[in-house]
Structure formats: structure tokens, C-alpha cells
């Protein structure tokens, strides 16, 4: 069957850049059947933000791109903001560790304000660098990560985690970190998940799966919550570094061809999981992009 009418088709994690394709990539997503994007902020400048003001400008750029995509393509866009956890590795040598940690904390606080003002729907990406870091930065990274959980708890929003690839034990470790600060593991999302993790195995932490063909097929019978994402980077210098933004709707169409119960399977990542984790009720926009 074709893509079910009225079903939202959601990429749960992507980036768009003013110096990349931007709206053109969103048009490709829309043409393939996509309806909703979760747009994570990123560092758009050649250097990492070294002041709170630079983080504010970064978040505002994300907001502007979200608005342009909405206005020009009809795709619904939700912004996700936070200081990128890897920024600390770059700012610590320049600012000193104490000041670098303080900047991350304040940028997280700012992200929390954005959520409360409904300018963003979640905190992300937060977490830990996916590569080895100097010993003296381990504790600062954990301090900042802990603060991210606290801010998400206060803002009452999901937390989107960046880290190295995690096995089920890694998911459970995130769940216990969440509980330590009184934050529900069910609102912690591990973005860029590359292997299947069941709900019980992961102790409630929600995988956002990279939309590789075989992985999508494997997880499509799982009850959820789980999401699909491309982590599209919109970086012309690195074409093919990640999946194209049209991938999630294409995978959804492939599932619709393959399974009689595709609509029920697709409702898990695109409707039920969004509702459970984000408390957002999505509906597909009326057909016919402006």
C-alpha cells in the first residue's frame, strides 16, 4: 500500500544550516512524504560559542531556519536546543575548565527557558563526547550532563542524549542517571541508536534509531517507544557523511509496501512515541505544500 494518508512522517533528529541546503533539503523531505522534523541546533560558526550571547544567537538561528522551513514547505518543525557536549572540549583550553563548565551550565539554563517559552520542545543534544577525552575533562563533562538532567526536570521536557554507541547496559546507566536527579528515564532519548534495544532491556530509555534499511525493518515490529532519524548534517563539505533527509519517508514507504499492518507499525514512531515522550499530538498537515 502507499504511505497511509493522514499519518505524520517524522524525522526525529536532523540539522539544517544557513550555509547548507536548508529549505531545499526540507523540500526533498516533503516531496518524499515527510511531514514533521525535529530540528536540533548546532554550531553554525567556524568557532565554538565562547559566550552565552553566542549560544543565544545559535539558538535564534535554529529558530529562524525552523520558521523558514515551516513557511516555505509546510513541514512542521520542532526546535531542540542545548549547548553541544563536545563544545566543552574546545572551550576548556581557551576559557579554563571552571569558566567552560559555567558557560555550559548557563547555556543549558537558557535552553530550559526556551522550552518553558515553547520556543523548543526538548533539550538536546546533551551528554558525552563520542571519542576519548583528556582525563581532567571527565568530571566536568559529567557535571554538565547532570545539570542537563536537572534543567530538563525543571522544564518538564525530554532530554536528547548524544554519546558513543550504547549497548543495553549503557541505556540502563542513563536510566539510573535520570533517576538520581528525579527525572523519568522514559523521557530520555538516546539519539543515533544503531542497534535494537528493547524497552525492558533499556530500562525505559528511548532509542532514536538511525534509519538504516535493515535496522528499520528489524525494529518496526517493536511496541515502542522508539523513533527514526537521519541525523542529517546539512554540510555540503561532507555529503554522504549521514543519511539524506528524504530517508525516513522513503523507509516508511518501503514498510508500507512490505507489511499489511504497516500503518500500525508506523504509528509507533510517528504518533504514539511522540505523544508519550513529548506529549505532542501530531497530525499530518493537509496535503499540498504551499
Q: Based on CB atoms, which residue is closest to Zn ion, 38 or 149? A: 38
**Pairwise CA distance, residues 162 & 278, whole Å:** 18
Read off the C-alpha cell for 82. Answer: 542545548
Q: Based on CB atoms, which residue is closest to Zn ion, 114 or 232? A: 232
Q: Based on CB atoms, which residue is closest to Zn ion, 14 or 101? A: 14
Q: How far is the CB of 191 from Zn ion (least distance, A)?
A: 6
Q: Based on CB atoms, which residue is closest to Zn ion, 126 or 216? A: 126
Cα first-last separation, the chain: 26
Please name the residues in contact with 158: beta carbons below 8 A apart, sequence gap of 6 or more. 121, 122, 123, 124, 152, 187, 188, 189, 277, 278
Number of residues that bind Zn ion (CB under 5 A): 2
Q: Based on CB atoms, which residue is closest to Zn ion, 110 or 243? A: 243
Q: Are the C-beta atoms of 266 and 255 separated by less than 8 Å? A: yes
x/- site string to Zn ion, residues 185 to 224, per CB under 5 A?
A: ----------------------------------------
Q: How far is the CB of 123 from Zn ion (least distance, A)?
A: 13
Stretch that binds Zn ion, among 53-61, 87-95, 208-216, 229-237 (CB under 5 A): 229-237
Stretch that binds Zn ion, among 39-47, 74-82, 94-102, 200-208 (CB under 5 A): 39-47
Stretch that binds Zn ion, among 25-33, 45-53, 82-90, 231-239 (CB under 5 A): 231-239
Query: In the bound complex, which residue of the shown chain has the CB atom lying closest to Zn ion?
Result: 231
CA dihedral 86, 88, 89, 93 (to 10 degrees): 160
Q: Are the C-beta atoms of 123 and 82 separated by less than 8 Å? A: yes
Q: How far is the CB of 170 from Zn ion (least distance, A)?
A: 18
Q: Based on CB atoms, which residue is closest to Zn ion, 11 or 231? A: 231
Q: How far is the CB of 95 from Zn ion (least distance, A)?
A: 24
Nearest to 130 by CA among 94, 85, 100, 63: 85
**Pairwise CA distance, residues 198 & 168, whole Å:** 8
CA distances from 191 to 38, 109, 147, 221, 271 (A): 12, 21, 19, 19, 18
x/- site string to Zn ion, residues 52 to 81, per CB under 5 A?
A: ------------------------------
**Pairwise CA distance, residues 41 & 90, whole Å:** 18
Q: Based on CB atoms, which residue is closest to Zn ion, 75 or 82? A: 82
Stretch that binds Zn ion, among 72-80, 106-114, 225-233, 251-259 (CB under 5 A): 225-233
φ and ψ at residue 12, rounded to 5 degrees: -80, -10
CA distances from 2 to 73, 215, 259 (A): 22, 21, 11
Q: How far is the CB of 234 from Zn ion (least distance, A)?
A: 11
Query: Using CB under 5 A as the criterion, which residues of the chain lie in contact with Zn ion when the complex forms?
Result: 40, 231
Amino acid at each position: 500500500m502507499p504511505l497511509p494518508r493522514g499519518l505524520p512522517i517524522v524525522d526525529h533528529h536532523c540539522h539544517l544550516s544557513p550555509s547548507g541546503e536548508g529549505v531545499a533539503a526540507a523540500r526533498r523531505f516533503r516531496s518524499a512524504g515527510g511531514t514533521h522534523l525535529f530540528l536540533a541546533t548546532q554550531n553554525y560558526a567556524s568557532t565554538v560559542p565562547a559566550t552565552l550571547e553566542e549560544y543565544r544567537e545559535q539558538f535564534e538561528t535554529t529558530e529562524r531556519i525552523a520558521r523558514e522551513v515551516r513557511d516555505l514547505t509546510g513541514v512542521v518543525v520542532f526546535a531542540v536546543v542545548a549547548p553541544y557536549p563536545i563544545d566543552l572540549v574546545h572551550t576548556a583550553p581557551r576559557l579554563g575548565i571552571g569558566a567552560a563548565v559555567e558557560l555550559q551550565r548557563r547555556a543549558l539554563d537558557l535552553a530550559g527557558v526556551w522550552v518553558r517559552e515553547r520556543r523548543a520542545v526538548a533539550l538536546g543534544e546533551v551528554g558525552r563526547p563520542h571519542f576519548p577525552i583528556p582525563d581532567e575533562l571527565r568530571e566536568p563533562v559529567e557535571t554538565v550532563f547532570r545539570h542537563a538532567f536537572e534543567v530538563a526536570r525543571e522544564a518538564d521536557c525530554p532530554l536528547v542524549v548524544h554519546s558513543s554507541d550504547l549497548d543495553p547496559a549503557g541505556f540502563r546507566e542513563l536510566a539510573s542517571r535520570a533517576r538520581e536527579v528525579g527525572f523519568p528515564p522514559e523521557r530520555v532519548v538516546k539519539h543515533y541508536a544503531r542497534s535494537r534495544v528493547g524497552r525492558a532491556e533499556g530500562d525505559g530509555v528511548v532509542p532514536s534509531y538511525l534509519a538504516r534499511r535493515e535496522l528499520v525493518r528489524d525494529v518496526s515490529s517493536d511496541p515502542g517507544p522508539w523513533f527514526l532519524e537521519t541525523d542529517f548534517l546539512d554540510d555540503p563539505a561532507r555529503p554522504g557523511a549521514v543519511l539524506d533527509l528524504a530517508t525516513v519517508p522513503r523507509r516508511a514507504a518501503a514498510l508500507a509496501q512490505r507489511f499489511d499492518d504497516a500503518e500500525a507499525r508506523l504509528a509507533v514512531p510517528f504518533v504514539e512515541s511522540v505523544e508519550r515522550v513529548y506529549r505532542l499530538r501530531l497530525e499530518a498537515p493537509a496535503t499540498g505544500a504551499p
